[in-house]
């Protein structure tokens, strides 16, 4: 049996947008690299520059009211207590193919380093439920105290996560939860971005660039994935409520992030008078950008969610991608680690935590990059913005 600091251990499960893997035991994995420390002294919190009074528009996957991640904190004394337990953690991701995932993992690893928690595995399911189930089984063989994860599919992965619960593992979720698990009983909390708020930001940018009128296409995530549904719902609701002269006239679903170009290309062929396209996140937005260029539609306005390198470069260059709503994945990772610490200390945690939304356009692209990734933008993006 594991020895926890509290006699009433809480169960954490962490899920969202994985990187490397468990060890050479898994064909999907490699050895974990050491993470740099986020901040070397003082309490562990997310970025103190983020506004603590910003309204969170998202609700949790079960209708939970959001508590801002700016309220979370582990004191130095808390971290010293955790270090004495010599705990271990595994990060079980759904996908590792973008900058968001890497930043999320960096935030987790840097925070766990301060807490004295050893990260024994980081896995990438490549958006395949069967791979994630295998990853969870491989990770459980390492006997971790904590698992931080985002389920690829809430239903088909549920049994594997329940095995973790039965093994006494504390679980923290990113963005979504497996079916049948309860907050406070099977997991501590869900941590997410304000995805609804980011959808609103993408709609507002689209409206500004098109003069609040036009025909819009939407590339949505055709899957049972709570956070991506929130984005498209927010975008559509904002147009309907605030911009009545902007109409969504075409919709195309993707089940794989690499389908963005194909879906957007078909959309443009059937609707050659489109004025703008909203894409549910940055990787398929890169595909939509390629489709727009192939069609010779450089006048098109594209907005999306998530500040990846390629979309940031296009924004800075004044290309068709005019702006986006950004998550703050590094800070989300810090928040998840703090909640893992709460569980180890026996502290009560809110059921749903959200990190504030961030509106990004050409005017603030460099400052936004630093907020999102805790580092300066790459030279290519800095030079493009000059």
Q: Are 303 and 205 in contact (CB under 8 A)?
A: yes
Query: Three-class SS of residue 251?
Result: strand
* pLDDT tens profile 4-52: 333 323 323 333 333 222 222 222 332 333 444 555 679 999 998 888 8
Please give the Cα distance from 249 to 232 (Å, whole number): 14
Count Cβ atoms below 10 Å from residue 361 Cβ, excluding itself: 18
Kindly state the DSSP code that residue 386 receives in the 8-state scheme: -
pTM: 0.80
Domains along the sequence of the chain with CATH? 195-328+360-384 (3.40.50.2300)
Q: pLDDT digit of tens for each residue in the chain (386 aa)?
A: 333 333 323 323 333 333 222 222 222 332 333 444 555 679 999 998 888 889 999 999 889 999 999 999 999 999 999 999 999 999 999 987 677 888 899 999 999 999 999 999 999 999 899 999 999 999 999 999 999 999 999 999 999 999 999 999 999 999 889 999 999 999 999 999 999 999 999 999 999 999 999 999 999 999 878 889 999 999 999 999 999 999 999 999 999 889 999 999 999 999 999 999 999 999 999 999 999 999 999 999 999 999 999 999 999 999 999 999 999 999 999 999 999 999 999 999 999 999 999 999 999 999 999 999 888 999 999 999 77
What would the two tokens of residue 187 be? 């997991």
Residue 283: enclosing H or E segment and its boundaries? Answer: helix 282-294
Kindly state the DSSP code that residue 71 receives in the 8-state scheme: G
Please give the Cα distance from 378 to 386 (Å, whole number): 13
Taking the chain, what is the end-to-end CA distance rounded to the nearest angstrom? 58
CB burial of 46-74 (b: ≥16 within 10 Å; e: otherwise) equals bbeebeeeeebbbbbbeebebbbbbebeb
């Amino acid at each position: 049996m594991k020895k926890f600091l509290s006699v009433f251990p809480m169960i954490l499960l962490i899920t969202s947008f994985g990187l490397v893997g468990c060890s050479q035991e898994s064909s999907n994995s490699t050895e974990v690299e050491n993470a740099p420390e986020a901040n070397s002294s003082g309490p562990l919190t997310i970025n103190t520059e983020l506004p603590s009074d910003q309204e969170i528009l998202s609700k949790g996957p079960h209708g939970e009211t959001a508590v801002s991640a700016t309220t979370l904190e582990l004191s130095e004394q808390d971290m010293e207590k955790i270090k004495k337990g010599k705990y271990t953690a595994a990060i079980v991701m759904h996908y590792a193919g973008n900058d968001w995932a890497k930043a999320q993992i960096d935030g987790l690893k840097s925070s766990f380093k301060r807490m004295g928690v050893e990260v024994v595995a980081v896995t990438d399911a490549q958006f395949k439920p069967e791979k994630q189930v295998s990853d969870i089984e491989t990770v459980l063989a390492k006997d971790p105290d904590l698992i931080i994860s985002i389920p690829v599919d809430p239903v088909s992965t549920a049994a594997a996560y329940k095995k973790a619960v039965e093994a006494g593992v504390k679980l923290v979720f990113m963005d979504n939860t497996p079916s049948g698990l309860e907050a406070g009983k099977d997991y501590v909390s869900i941590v997410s971005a304000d995805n609804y708020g980011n959808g609103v930001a993408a709609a507002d940018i689209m409206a500004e660039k098109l003069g609040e009128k036009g025909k819009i296409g939407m590339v949505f995530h055709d899957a049972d994935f709570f956070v991506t549904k929130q984005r498209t719902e927010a975008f559509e609701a904002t147009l309907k409520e605030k911009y009545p002269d902007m109409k969504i006239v075409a919709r195309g679903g993707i089940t794989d992030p690499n389908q963005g170009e194909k879906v957007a290309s078909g959309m443009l062929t059937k609707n050659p008078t489109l004025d703008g396209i909203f894409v549910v996140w940055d990787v398929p937005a890169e595909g939509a950008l390629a489709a727009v260029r192939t069609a010779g539609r450089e006048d098109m306005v594209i907005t999306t969610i998530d500040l990846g390198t390629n979309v940031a470069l296009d924004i800075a260059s004044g290309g068709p991608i005019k702006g986006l709503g950004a998550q703050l994945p590094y800070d989300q990772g810090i928040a998840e680690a703090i909640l893992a610490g709460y569980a180890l200390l026996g502290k009560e945690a809110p059921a749903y935590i959200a990190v504030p939304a961030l509106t990004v356009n050409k005017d603030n692209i460099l400052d936004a990059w630093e907020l999102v990734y805790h580092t300066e933008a790459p030279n290519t993006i800095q030079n493009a913005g000059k």
